[in-house]
Chains A and B, each alone.
Chain A
Amino acid sequence: MKYKMKELIRVGMADLNACKCPGGLTTLGLGSCVGVTLYDSQTKVGGMVHVMLPDSTRFKHTENPAKYADTGIALLIEKMEKLGADRKRLSAKIAGGAQMFAFKADNEMLRIGERNVEATKQVLKKHKIEIIAEDTGLNYGRTIEFYTKTGDLVIKSVGKPDKTI
């Protein structure tokens, strides 16, 4: 069964949330940010974090842990464990990290999408969570919807057919 948009929990920029089956999570218009979804297929607990920046240790304003890949993913795992997930069973799907504007490649400030994806992968590796699917990079925005019933991640973009990973 398909869910309507309004039944999905909306995860904003630099935000995270988790839910049990049959709930779903969505984040709208991901650009250079990365949407990370974690899923425990046994208890069907799912979680999503909208990562804006790669590494909390490099910035001073770290009041919001969901903003960064390292602190955001760690916090999401904790939140999911409270809902009954086991961190050893978690698998990940990631999307986003686009480069929205075609800049010169040497501008560090603007390669943020790529850096967010790299950092996300490293953090997941550190937590020993396998990435089973990804749709990252390129130059367009993505709206993502995650369904805890199936573990499916649906990706919607402007002028492109929907994609399920």
Chain B
Amino acid sequence: MAKIDLEQMDDMHFDILKEIGNIGAGNATTALSQMINAKVDMKVPKVCLLDFRELPDIVGGAECIVVGILLELEGEINGMMMFVLEKESAHRLVNILMGRNIDNFDEFTEMDLSALNEIGNIIAGAYLYSLSALTNLMIKPSVPYMSIDMAGAILSVPAIEFGKVGDKALLIESQFGEEDEFVNGYFILIPTLESYEKILTSLGI
């Protein structure tokens, strides 16, 4: 049985996870910047541990429409990783990527959805790469799965996983974008409890 209890994590654990989030998001923005051939800024990510019931409220309430991109993780770290974008932020991101007017909120086309999926893949991949490089643990992510629906429904997937081991969920919020057009994205890393322990142990905790 794992020794790590999510509710007993201290500041140092948070700082480490925050730093992983920071480096990961940094790599992700670099990747994104290369993809759209423009400067992409990022803000320092926020890491918080919250009651899983509050998860949907963070992204605007249970009925707020969000884009969720989920990857399964295998290898030395098992679990899932989810990247959540508010629908409006997703539109902005696609507009930046497609070189369209930033205020275009038409329905997503097939091409937009494909682009979003790829953005999710790149961002999640960059994040996971940092995690893997820092911990020296091998992580094999699956192809990305995307779903656009109510936040409550999308977030029920990580909430259930967290629910198996307790009542808390770990959320890393990061913001990135161009100067005045920041978009909000949320990473939810959902390692199994054993994998949490592996991550922290490999970092010498």
Contacts and interface: CB of A to CB of B under 8 A. Distances in A.
Interface string A123-151: 00000000000000001111100000000
**What is the interface residue range for chain A against chain B?**
20 to 34
Nearest to B149: A141
Contacts of A103: 72, 145
Contacts of A32: 153, 156-157, 160
A72 B57 CA distance: 24
B164 interface: yes
Give the interface size bracket for B toward A: 20 to 34
Interface stretch (A17-25, A37-45, A77-85, A94-102): A94-102
Interface stretch (B13-21, B33-41, B62-70): B62-70
Contact of A29 (B52, B146, B148, B153): B153
Interface string B49-83: 00011001000011101001010100000001000
A100 B53 contact: no
Interface in B156-193: 156-157, 159-161, 163-167
B147 interface: yes
A4 interface: no
Find the residue from A33, A98, A109 having the highest chain B CB count within 10 A: A109
Contact of B62 (A15, A29, A59, A110): A29
11 contacts: A31-B150, A32-B156, A52-B160, A59-B164, A61-B164, A63-B167, A67-B163, A109-B80, A112-B160, A141-B149, A141-B152
Contacts of A53: 160, 163-164
Interface of B: 52-53, 56, 61-63, 65, 68, 70, 72, 80, 145-157, 159-161, 163-167
B72 A100 contact: no
B165 A13 contact: no
